[in-house]
């Protein structure tokens, strides 16, 4: 099945895609988007399988991008396959090419249709500035997938929010939010305070706290539990407590004042389901934007500050995949945001061409800063 | 349709911009009459489970079964469990089952049994207390229409149809909505005496299908099709619903009903209305209904019903590699039955847009294959600058909306055959909806049940529409009854009787082979 291409280029890949389609009897292709998955050798199988599953609901061309070592000569290998719903290409880049993945991806994008970029693991701190991210109309990160530093990674993404950025931690919340909204439908009372209990370092819980406090305009406490994920949410009202608790990650107890307790299935959804929800709408998510703005404010209030050195370190955007996000990124995100605001003020009215050149210049500057900053953090 | 209209505007967690939040019904329960039937087991129970699995049912949702069986609640739960295991589309999950299972109740009894309905009322009241269903209940009548008067009367008598302030009672009825205009009116009189019109939901599961809803998107969200969607460009429209199966176990229901009443009256006329109606002012239920009613009102019959209608009855034959029985050999069908298993009719619509464009509707059992589609066939180009030989293989352009299976849209047009000579041949351009969906695309019944619970009626025909459909069909049925002959025989596995072919040949047209 499929065509394997070694040491190839984008136009050979494009013609392989055509050959594969012909081989399948030129089936109708209702592909609605290009789905770029930026991953690494270890995780690509899981991620691409989820992308393929999602192709059934959102038929798409899936481009898996694996950036290998930056050493050695530039090299591109590809696996081209036709799947249910669309086509799939796995791109392995190494050598100098690993720094220029957009040069391979750009010619393979479907004409006219939207591009979605997903980082299943490590993501750039500012996805919109990333060379692949800047090709996309929607950029999906997943801070909860990181092994460490999830909370701060989420805050970083929040600080660097741009229209059409989104994080799967937010998507994971939809069933919780739906249930909480349903609870207030059933028991419409003014909420005086609340509490979210979740395992330590859970970006979804942080977002839920931010969303609730923004919508309800009351302080919401965040307490730590054993997990898994979010274990309970309670809202205090004059007539009693609204509580949804889910100790096992599957079945929740739903209780509101003056009504019997009821069980509700509230499972943790798998990647394909989350992505399917994410891809259903490709316009900016206003509510997410409000929520991350609140999240930034909460993070500030909790006095999360870091040293100057760390600030510098984090300012280096992650042009390559292999930069881990540490707590140091927290403040950095803010710095970048400030910079961006200033930059936006500067460039107002300038042509997009001018913007592009300045972006390029910045990129060059960035890679320079990066080398020094790596030294500064000293692999903390 | 948006969240803001559904919930208390004061709910601070709702926001019309927040389009991720799904529509979850308020606290409620469903009572199914006729739980032992096929429909309940194969469609309703699995749909309820699938809805719960997708997190769209409210906490505390309850399901009450009512049937003449000596069951306890656990026996009923077992039946639902088996039905869900066998027919649900989403994977079985223990926690979803546990959420649902606590709300299962069973009431044994006859439809004329006062004690049983008293028990039903107690059960519902108990659910309101224990499960918090808050007095909101839908009664799903999955039973033959001859039992409607009994059940509806009992519901009224035992106060089950009475709505307390802030709660609702709804009744759901399945097709057929009567067997002619008079019976439909009678049925409506019975139901509307007890339930107000906005509480009566007539389920036509076809209208819940994605592709049917997509007809509206295709027509009204695009600029491409509207200019040609009229008699200037459209030659005629063919609406086909073909089944490859026979009547199976439905003999008791089918004999005396027949193809026209079973399918044309509801599904095909609804499809025709959606294809031909003018643009509604909005997608609210009322606006859609107004447009559909306008079309149904302006339908005109052909002057000679003998020349422009056809009916048939399948005989034994080979269908799809299997030897199958003829209609008259099916169990419980009398040898003298005159019930048609194939019906085709021609209708015209007297509006400026459609004057002179015939709509051909056909439906049959044991036809070539299972397919439902709407084909809009366009006129030939008025002048072809090619030689006669070059265009010999060129047919008419067509836009085909495939409703099931293999949902999608096909556009058929002429294209040059590769080579040095100029030769033009028909090609297909195909659009296929995704096949097996990850999670989102709900099955028709899921969508409809959810709409009942939410009280959202755009997809449900109201009694005016039902009566208008009967007004269209009644003269044809009367004509056939007056003719008092047997329907023309057609061999199983073919595309219907010869009279159907002749009917189109008279107009100089042929049926598409779907």
Q: Is B383 an active-site residue?
A: no
CB B34 within 8 A of CB B40: yes
The predicted structure's pLDDT at residue A23:
81
Nearest to B508 by CA among B400, B379, B390: B379
Strand partners, B67: B108
**Buried-state track A205-244, b at ≥16 Cβ within 10 A, e below 16:** bbbbbbbbbbbbeeebebeebebebbbbbbbbbeeeebbb
CB contact under 8 A, A30 and B129: no
Q: Is the distance from CB of A266 to CB of A176 less than 8 angstroms?
A: yes
Q: Taking CB atoms and an 8 Å limit, are B8 and A58 in contact across chains?
A: no
Max CA-CA distance within chain B?
Answer: 84
Residues of B in contact with A182 (CB under 8 A): 24, 26, 58-59
**Interface residue B453 vs chain A (CB under 8 A):** no
φ and ψ at residue B424, rounded to 5 degrees: -120, 135
Task: Check if A22 contacts B (Cβ < 8 Å).
Answer: no
Question: What residues 94-123 of chain A have any CB closer than 8 A to a CB of chain B?
Answer: none
A144 part of contact set with chain B, CB < 8 Å = no
Residue window 279-308, chain B: list those with CB within 8 Å of chain A.
Answer: none
Set of chain A residues whose Cβ sits within 8 Å of the Cβ of B214: none
Neighbours of A132 (CB within 10 A): 24
The single residue listed with the structure tokens 């089918």 is B254
Chain B residues near residue A281 by CB distance under 8 angstroms: 19-20
Helix, strand, coil percent content, chain A, rounded in steps of 5: 45, 20, 35
Nearest CA among B176, B217, B388, B353 for reference residue B277: B353
What's the pLDDT score for residue A35?
93
Answer whether A57 sits within 8 Å of B17, measured CB to CB.
no
Q: How far apart are CA B359 and CA B273, in angstroms?
A: 11
Q: Are A91 and A78 in contact (CB under 8 A)?
A: yes
Question: What is the side-by-side order of every strand in the sheet holding A33-39?
Answer: A3-5, A75-83, A86-94, A60-67, A33-39, A115-118, A138-141, A165-167
> How high is the pLDDT of residue A321?
35
Q: Which of B21, B429, B438 sits opposite A56 (nearest CB)?
A: B438
* Cβ contact A16:A78 at 8 Å: yes
Residue B17 has its nearest CB partner, among A217, A277, A286, at A286
Which tokens belong to B219?
A: 């027509």
Place of tokens 């709407």: B374
- Is the Cβ pair A184, B437 closer than 8 Å? no
The residues, any chain, with a CB within 8 Å of residue A300's CB and separated by 6 or more, are A334
Q: Find the mean pLDDT for residues A112-117.
A: 91
Burial class (CB in 10 A: 0-12, 13-18, 19+), B182: exposed
Q: Return the residue in A163, A217, A246, A264 with the most chain B beta carbons within 10 A, the one to mutate for interface testing.
A: A264
Question: Is B52 part of the contact surface with chain A (CB cutoff 8 Å)?
Answer: yes
Q: Give dist(CA A57, CA A66) in Å, integer.
A: 24
- Token pair listed for A198: 């979740």
Q: Is there a contact between A136 and A38 (Cβ–Cβ < 8 Å)?
A: no
What is the average pLDDT score of chain B? 87
Residue A115 has pLDDT above 80, yes or no: yes
CB A24 within 8 A of CB A86: no
The answer to whether B191 and B170 are in contact (CB under 8 A) is: no
Tell me if chain B has a CB within 8 Å of the CB of A251.
yes
Report the helix count and the strand count for chain A, using DSSP H and E.
Answer: 12, 14
Looking at beta carbons, which residues of chain A come within 8 Å of B436?
56, 84
Within a 10 A sphere around the Cβ of A111, how many other Cβ atoms? Answer: 5
Evaluate if residue A197 carries a pLDDT over 70.
Answer: yes
Residue closest to A234 by CA, chosen among A254, A210, A260: A254
Mean pLDDT of B418-430: 83
A284-314: per-residue pLDDT in tens?
899 999 999 999 998 888 765 322 233 434 4
Determine the Cα angle at B51 with ends B103 and B59, to 5°: 40
**Is the per-residue pLDDT at B237 higher than 80?**
yes
Q: Which residue has the tokens 């010619």?
A: A107
Could you tell me which residue, B381 or B378, shows the higher pLDDT?
B378
Contact A251 B24 (CB under 8 A): no
> Tokens representing A54?
């999602």
At B420 the three-state DSSP class reads: coil
Predicted pLDDT at A356 = 44
Structural contact between residues B135 and B62, judged by C-beta atoms closer than 8 angstroms = no
The pLDDT of residue A167 is 95
**pTM, whole model, 2 decimals?**
0.78
Instruction: Summarize the confidence of residues B142-168 as an average pLDDT.
Output: 87
Residue labelled with tokens 């002057």: B303
What's the gap in Å between the CA of A9 and the closest CA on chain B? Answer: 30
Nearest CA in chain A to B57: A264
**A66-93 pLDDT, tens digit each:** 988 888 899 999 999 887 767 899 999 9
pLDDT at res. B277: 94
Determine whether the interchain pair A57/B434 forms a contact, defined as Cβ–Cβ distance below 8 Å.
Answer: yes
Token pair of B159, please?
């106060």
pLDDT band of A249, cuts 50, 70, 90: confident
The angle at the Cα of A67, spanning A66 to A69, to the nearest 5 degrees, equals 135
Nearest to A164 by CA among A275, A290, A284: A284
Q: Which residue is listed with tokens 């910045």?
A: A362
In the structure, what pLDDT confidence band is assigned to residue A378 with cuts at 50, 70 and 90?
very low
List pLDDT tens digits, range A217-227.
999 999 999 97
pLDDT-based confidence at B36, cuts 50/70/90? confident
Least CB–CB distance from B95: residue in A179, A185, A265: A265
Mean pLDDT of chain A: 80
Interface test with B, best of A265, A267, A272, A288 (most B CBs within 10 A): A265
Residue to mutate among B55, B59, B408, B455, with most A CBs inside 10 A, is B59
Percent of chain A past pLDDT 70, that is, above it, reads: 78
Is B440 an interface residue toward A (CB < 8 Å)? yes
Cβ neighbours of A250 in B, within 8 Å: 93-95
Total beta-carbon pairs less than 8 A apart between chain A and chain B: 147
**Considering CB atoms only, which of B52, B129, B130 is closest to A265?**
B52
- Cβ B98–A263 below 8 Å, yes or no? yes
Q: Does pLDDT of A251 surpass 80?
A: yes
- The residue annotated as part of the active site, out of B179, B267, B363, B463, is B267
Residue environment code for B187-217, b if the CB has 16+ CB neighbours within 10 A, otherwise e? bbebbeebbeeebbbbbbbbbbbbbbbbbbe
Pairwise CB contact (< 8 Å): B432 & A30: yes
C-alpha angle A76-A81-A85 in degrees, rounded to nearest 5: 130
Min distance B431 CA to chain A CA atoms (Å): 6
Which residues lie closer than 8 Å to A46 by C-beta, 6 or more apart? A120, A271
A202 contacts A210 by C-beta, under 8 angstroms:
no
Residues in chain B: 514
Which residues of A are less than 8 Å from B218 in CB distance?
A: none
Measured CA distances, A4 to A8, A21, A26, A36, A173 (Å): 10, 15, 20, 19, 39
pLDDT at A235: 95
Residue with more model confidence, B1 or A213: A213
A57 to chain B, minimum CA–CA distance in Å? Answer: 5
Q: Is B166 on the interface with A (CB under 8 A)?
A: no
């Amino acid at each position: 099945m499929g065509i394997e291409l070694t040491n190839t280029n984008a136009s050979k890949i494009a013609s392989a895609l055509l050959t594969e389609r012909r081989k399948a009897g030129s089936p109708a292709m209702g592909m609605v988007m290009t789905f770029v998955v930026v991953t690494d050798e270890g995780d690509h199988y899981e991620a691409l399988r989820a992308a393929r599953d999602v192709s059934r609901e959102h038929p798409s061309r899936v481009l898996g991008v694996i950036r290998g070592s930056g050493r050695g000569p530039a090299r591109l290998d590809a696996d081209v396959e036709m799947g249910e719903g669309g086509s799939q290409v796995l791109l392995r880049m190494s050598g100098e090419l690993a720094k220029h993945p957009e040069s391979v991806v750009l010619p393979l994008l479907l004409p006219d249709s939207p591009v979605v970029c997903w980082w299943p693991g490590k993501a750039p701190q500012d996805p919109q500035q990333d060379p692949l991210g800047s090709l996309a109309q929607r950029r999906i990160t997943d801070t909860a997938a990181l092994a460490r530093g999830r909370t701060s990674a989420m805050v970083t993404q929040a600080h660097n929010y741009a229209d059409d950025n989104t994080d799967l931690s937010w998507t994971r919340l939809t069933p919780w939010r739906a249930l909480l909204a349903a609870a207030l439908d059933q028991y419409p009372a003014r909420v005086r305070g609340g509490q979210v209990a979740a395992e330590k370092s859970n970006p979804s819980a942080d977002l839920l706290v931010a969303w609730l406090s923004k919508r309800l305009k009351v302080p919401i406490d965040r307490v730590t539990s054993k997990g898994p994920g979010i274990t309970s949410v309670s809202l205090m009202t004059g007539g009693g407590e609204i509580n949804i608790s889910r100790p096992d990650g599957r079945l929740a107890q739903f209780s509101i004042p003056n009504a019997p307790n009821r069980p509700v299935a509230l499972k943790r959804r798998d990647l394909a389901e989350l992505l399917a929800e994410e891809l259903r709408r490709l316009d900016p998510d206003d509510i997410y934007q409000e929520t991350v703005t609140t999240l930034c404010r909460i993070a500030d209030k909790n006095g999360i500050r870091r040293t100057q050195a760390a600030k510098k370190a984090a300012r280096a955007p992650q042009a390559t995949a292999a930069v881990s996000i540490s707590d140091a990124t927290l403040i950095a995100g803010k710095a970048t945001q400030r910079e961006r605001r200033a930059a936006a003020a500067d460039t107002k009215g300038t042509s997009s061409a001018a913007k592009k050149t300045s972006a390029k210049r910045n990129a060059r500057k960035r890679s320079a800063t990066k080398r020094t900053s790596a030294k500064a953090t000293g692999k903390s | 349709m948006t969240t803001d209209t559904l919930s208390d505007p004061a709910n601070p967690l709702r926001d019309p911009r927040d389009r991720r939040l799904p529509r979850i019904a308020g606290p409620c329960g469903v009572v199914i009459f006729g739980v032992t039937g096929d429909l309940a087991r194969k469609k309703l129970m699995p749909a309820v489970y699938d809805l719960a699995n997708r997190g769209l049912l409210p906490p505390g949702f309850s399901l009450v079964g009512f049937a003449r069986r000596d069951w306890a609640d656990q026996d009923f739960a077992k039946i639902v469990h088996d039905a869900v295991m066998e027919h649900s589309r989403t994977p079985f999950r223990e926690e979803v089952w546990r959420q649902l299972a606590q709300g299962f109740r069973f009431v044994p009894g006859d439809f004329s049994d006062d004690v049983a309905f008293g028990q039903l009322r107690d059960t519902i009241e108990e659910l309101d207390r224990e499960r918090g269903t808050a007095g909101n209940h839908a009664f799903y009548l999955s039973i033959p229409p001859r039992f409607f008067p009994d059940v509806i009367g009992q519901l009224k008598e035992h106060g089950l149809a009475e709505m307390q302030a802030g709660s609702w009672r709804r009744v759901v009825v399945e097709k057929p909505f009567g067997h002619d205009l008079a019976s439909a009116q009678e049925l409506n009189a019975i139901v509307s005496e007890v339930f107000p019109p906005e509480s009566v939901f007539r389920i036509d599961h076809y209208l819940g299908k994605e592709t049917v809803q997509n007809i509206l998107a295709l027509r009204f969200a695009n600029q491409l099709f509207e200019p040609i969607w009229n008699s200037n460009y459209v030659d005629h429209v063919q609406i086909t619903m073909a089944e490859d199966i026979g009547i199976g176990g439905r003999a008791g229901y089918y004999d005396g009903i027949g193809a026209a009443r079973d399918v044309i009256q509801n599904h095909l006329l609804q499809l025709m209305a959606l294809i031909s109606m003018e643009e509604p002012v909005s997608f609210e239920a009322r606006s859609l209904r107004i447009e559909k009613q306008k079309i149904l009102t302006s339908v005109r019959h052909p002057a000679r019903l003998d020349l422009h209608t056809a009916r048939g009855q399948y005989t034994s034959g080979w269908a799809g590699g299997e030897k199958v029985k003829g209609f008259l050999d099916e169990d419980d069908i009398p040898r003298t039955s005159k019930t048609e298993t194939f019906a085709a009719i021609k209708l015209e619509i007297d509006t400026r847009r459609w004057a002179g464009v015939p709509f051909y509707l056909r439906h049959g059992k044991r036809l070539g294959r299972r397919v439902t589609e709407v084909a809009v066939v366009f006129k030939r180009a008025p002048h072809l600058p090619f030689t006669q030989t070059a265009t010999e293989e060129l047919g008419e352009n067509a836009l085909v909306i495939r409703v099931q299976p293999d949902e999608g849209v096909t556009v058929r047009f002429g294209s040059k055959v590769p080579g040095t000579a100029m030769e033009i041949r028909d090609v297909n351009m195909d659009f296929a909806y995704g096949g097996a969906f990850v999670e989102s695309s709900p099955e028709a019944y899921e969508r409809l049940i959810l709409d009942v619970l939410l009280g959202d009626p755009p997809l449900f025909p109201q009694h005016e529409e039902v009566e208008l459909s009967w007004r269209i069909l009644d003269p044809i049925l009367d004509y056939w009854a007056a003719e008092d002959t047997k329907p023309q025989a057609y061999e199983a596995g073919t595309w219907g009787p010869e009279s159907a072919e002749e009917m189109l040949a008279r107009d100089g047209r042929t049926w598409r082979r779907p």
